[in-house]
Amino acid sequence: MSAITDSRLMNTAINLDYNRAEQQFIQLLETEDLDKQLNAGSSIASEFEAAIALAIKQAYAEKNSSDAAHLFLQRVLYRINRLKLFWYDDLRHYTNERSEYLHSIRDRIEASWQEWELSHLDVAALQKLDVEAVKQALISRGEADLNPPLSADSRYLREEMSEAGYRRVLAIGSFDGLVEGSRMCSILGGAANEVQATLFRVLLEEYGNGRLSRKHSTYFAQMLSEFGMHTEPEAYFDLVPWEVLAAANHNFLLTERKRYFLRYNGGLTYFEVAGPAAYRNYLAAAQRLELSQAAMGYWELHIREDERHGRWMLDDVAMPLADRYPDDAWELVLGYDQEKLMGDRAGSAVVRSAKDAERAAK
């Protein structure tokens, strides 16, 4: 048996182990009085915890990290984080939303994962930036990311992607597109000022100013409907790459921890500034494929509104926050750079998945 075959068999076995561990975790989520049972000495979580320990090692401690381990950890983390949102489903699904055990699993994964993520950035250099350097860094980054040169992935989306690939992009995009802006709600409460007011304006536009027909998620659902695809949130969860899940989980972390308020707003600044360039790629693909207006309306809406949101975030949120927190202003740049790094990584994963869908369709 060849080394390649041995490797494939090993990867299959690992995937099966992680799949089984995730199913066990789903059962834990639905267990009545989970903490009470575990405190009483129940061993119902022992195999799952062994899988967590192995995955953390394979994802974050080994030179060649395992995609299967990354996927398992991010799926577990997301299943915990999603309990912070309300899904208009069976109320019993929220039985363990405040479980100390679930929080301990979340913290255990996040500690290793965030250390690994930060190792990809020169944090020490960013910490040396003074307020004016922070402002200039954000301005120069924003100018570069507003209209970046076309990458190989961008050209593929614009010039080559087939309808099968476009459907896959929509399927993965629906993971966030159908609940867009939800995590942002966690950072809006508190003292009133111009920064808070600006952030609220951004959220209001994402939510269609209170009209469901104009909510951005409605436009995304219309794109899905045009292809006869499912419009329920998380319908295509099993297609979502770990890189996309990581971006969502990172967002949950930054919005839930007020100490990371500057990092979150730096990241949101990047997201709103760079969004139109990404959406133009998808719009160009839809136009080349001669799709209907309903099959591309979301992209057009976002290009128009995110150009405005990007200016708001830079001028009315990031800059005032830098002045208000001069000693910590560098965290705005950290948030910006980290969101870009994770966003680029997720975008590449989406393109790989679209190409996989095209090959499968042939």
Tens-place pLDDT, residues 65-80: 999 999 999 999 999 9
- Largest interatomic CA distance in the chain: 67
Which amino acid is residue 235, in one-letter code?
A: A
Tens-place pLDDT, residues 230-244: 999 999 999 999 999
pLDDT at res. 8? 52
Lowest mean pLDDT among 137-151, 172-186, 244-258, 325-339: 172-186
Does one domain contain both 211 and 344? yes
Does position 11 have pLDDT exceeding 80, yes or no? no
**Using CA atoms, how far apart are residues 60 and 51, in angstroms rounded to an integer?**
14
pLDDT at res. 44? 86
Sorting pLDDT into bands at 50, 70 and 90, what band is 180? confident
- With a pLDDT cut of 90, the percent of the chain lying above it is 89
**Using CA atoms, how far apart are residues 133 and 136, in angstroms rounded to an integer?**
5
Spatial neighbors of 63 by CB under 8 A, at least 6 apart, are none
Does one domain contain both 292 and 352? yes
Chain length of the chain: 362
Tens-place pLDDT, residues 124-150: 999 999 999 999 999 999 999 999 999
Question: How many C-alpha atoms does 311 have within 13 Å on its Cβ side?
Answer: 5
Q: Which of 344, 353, 358 is nearest to 120 (CA)?
A: 344
Spatial neighbors of 255 by CB under 8 A, at least 6 apart, are 183, 184, 186, 187, 264
Tens-place pLDDT, residues 193-246: 999 999 999 999 999 999 999 999 999 999 999 999 999 999 999 999 999 999
Does one domain contain both 145 and 131? yes
Sorting pLDDT into bands at 50, 70 and 90, what band is 6? very low
- With a pLDDT cut of 70, the percent of the chain lying above it is 96
For the four alpha carbons of 109, 111, 114 and 120, in that order, the dihedral sign comes to negative
Does one domain contain both 163 and 298? yes
Q: Which of 254, 287, 281 is nearest to 186 (CA)?
A: 254
Domain extent, residue 302, equals 123-361
Tens-place pLDDT, residues 45-68: 999 999 999 999 999 998 899 999
Q: Which of 93, 118, 143 is the last residue of a domain?
A: 118
Does one domain contain both 51 and 151? no
Does one domain contain both 45 and 140? no
Q: Which of 88, 118, 148 is the last residue of a domain?
A: 118
With 0-12 / 13-18 / 19 or more C-beta atoms within 10 angstroms meaning exposed / middle / buried, residue 23 is exposed
Into how many domains does the chain fold?
A: 2
End-to-end CA distance of the chain: 30
Q: Which of 83, 103, 118 is the last residue of a domain?
A: 118
Structure tokens at 68: 């299967």
Q: How confident is the prediction for the chain on average, in pLDDT?
A: 94
> Which 8-state DSSP code applies to residue 232?
S
Per-residue b or e along 116-127, where b marks 16 or more CB atoms closer than 10 Å to that residue's CB? ebeeeeeeeebe
pLDDT at res. 15? 64
Does position 181 have pLDDT exceeding 90, yes or no? no
CATH number, position 261: 1.20.910.10
Residue pair 216/180 in contact by the 8 Å Cβ criterion: yes
Full-model pTM: 0.94
Does one domain contain both 267 and 130? yes
What angle do helix axes 330-361 and 261-288 make, rounded to 10 degrees?
Answer: 30
Q: Can you tell me the mean pLDDT for 85-91?
A: 96
pLDDT at res. 1? 47
pLDDT at res. 14? 59
Does one domain contain both 174 and 301? yes
Does position 178 have pLDDT exceeding 50, yes or no? yes
Does one domain contain both 87 and 140? no
Residue pair 157/351 in contact by the 8 Å Cβ criterion: yes
SS3 state of residue 148: coil
Phi-psi region of 209 (alpha: psi -120 to 50; beta: other; left: phi over 0): left
Does one domain contain both 153 and 67? no
Sorting pLDDT into bands at 50, 70 and 90, what band is 9? very low
Does one domain contain both 255 and 146? yes
Does one domain contain both 334 and 272? yes
